[in-house]
A = this chain, B = another copy of it.
Amino acid sequence: MAGSTFGHLLRVTNFGESHGPAIGCVIDGCPPGLALAVEDLQPDLDRRKPGTSRHVTQRRESDRVEILSGVFEGRTTGTPIALLIRNEDQRSSDYENLLDTFRPGHADYTYWRKYGARDPRGGGRSSARLTAPMVAAGAVAKKWLRERYGTRVRGCLQQLGEIEIAFVAWEHAERNPFFAPNEAIVPRLEDYMDALRRQGDSCGARLRVTATDVPVGLGAPLYDKLDADIAYAMMGINAVKGVEIGAGFGAVAQKGSEHGDELTPDGFLSNHAGGVLGGISTGQDIEVSIAIKPTSSIRLPRRSIDRNNRPVTVETHGRHDPCVGIRATPIAEAMLALVLMDHALLQRAQNGDVELPVPPIAARAPKDA
- The smallest C-beta distance from A271 to any residue of chain B, in angstroms, reads 11
What 0/1 readout, one digit per residue, does chain A (43-67) give for beta carbons within 8 Å of chain B?
Answer: 0000000000000000000000011
- Choose one: B109, B245, B353; the contact of A282 (CB below 8 Å): B109
Q: How far is the CA of A269 from the CA of B15 in the complex (A)?
A: 34
Quick check: is A243 within 8 A (CB to CB) of the other chain? Answer: yes
Quick check: is A346 within 8 A (CB to CB) of the other chain? Answer: yes
**A16 contacts B106, C-beta separation under 8 Å:** no
**B79 contacts A17, C-beta separation under 8 Å:** yes
Inside 8 A of A24's CB, which chain B residues have their CB? 68, 82
Number of copies: 4
- Choose one: B4, B280, B352; the contact of A220 (CB below 8 Å): B4
What 0/1 readout, one digit per residue, does chain A (279-308) give for beta carbons within 8 Å of chain B?
Answer: 111110000000111111110101111011
Q: A259-B294, A307-B358 are in contact. Are A80 and B235 (CB under 8 A)?
A: no
**B31 contacts A351, C-beta separation under 8 Å:** yes
Inside 8 A of A278's CB, which chain B residues have their CB? 106-107, 110-111, 126, 238
Quick check: is A93 within 8 A (CB to CB) of the other chain? Answer: no
- Choose one: B67, B256, B274; the contact of A202 (CB below 8 Å): B256
**A69 contacts B303, C-beta separation under 8 Å:** no
Inside 8 A of A13's CB, which chain B residues have their CB? 5, 11, 13, 26, 28, 80
**A242 contacts B251, C-beta separation under 8 Å:** yes
Q: A265-B309, A303-B264 are in contact. Are A222 and B256 (CB under 8 A)?
A: no
Inside 8 A of A276's CB, which chain B residues have their CB? 110
**B2 contacts A29, C-beta separation under 8 Å:** yes
- The smallest C-beta distance from A282 to any residue of chain B, in angstroms, reads 6
**A221 contacts B104, C-beta separation under 8 Å:** no
- The smallest C-beta distance from A14 to any residue of chain B, in angstroms, reads 6
**A5 contacts B3, C-beta separation under 8 Å:** no
Quick check: is A91 within 8 A (CB to CB) of the other chain? Answer: no
Q: How far is the CA of A54 from the CA of B82 in the complex (A)?
A: 33
Task: Please provide the chain A residues from 222 to 259 with a CB less than 8 Å away from any CB of chain B in the complex.
Answer: 222-225, 227-236, 238, 240-259
**B244 contacts A80, C-beta separation under 8 Å:** no
**Interface-central residue, A2, A111, A225, A347, by most chain B CB under 10 Å:** A2
**A236 contacts B223, C-beta separation under 8 Å:** yes
**A4 contacts B235, C-beta separation under 8 Å:** no
- The smallest C-beta distance from A213 to any residue of chain B, in angstroms, reads 15
Quick check: is A208 within 8 A (CB to CB) of the other chain? Answer: no
Q: A77-B115, A260-B302 are in contact. Are A245 and B255 (CB under 8 A)?
A: no
**A279 contacts B236, C-beta separation under 8 Å:** yes
**B260 contacts A249, C-beta separation under 8 Å:** no
Q: How far is the CA of A81 from the CA of B16 in the complex (A)?
A: 8
**B66 contacts A114, C-beta separation under 8 Å:** no
**A256 contacts B221, C-beta separation under 8 Å:** no
Inside 8 A of A223's CB, which chain B residues have their CB? 3-6, 14, 232-233, 236
Assuming A32-B116, A249-B291, what are 10 further A-B pairs, CB within 8 angstroms?
A2-B28, A5-B5, A21-B67, A23-B69, A105-B273, A110-B216, A201-B256, A225-B235, A259-B296, A269-B303
Can you list 24 A-B pairs with a CB-CB distance of less than 8 A?
Answer: A1-B224, A4-B221, A9-B350, A15-B68, A15-B70, A16-B80, A33-B117, A72-B121, A104-B260, A107-B280, A113-B217, A113-B356, A201-B256, A203-B253, A203-B256, A223-B233, A228-B236, A232-B235, A241-B245, A242-B245, A256-B298, A260-B294, A265-B310, A309-B358
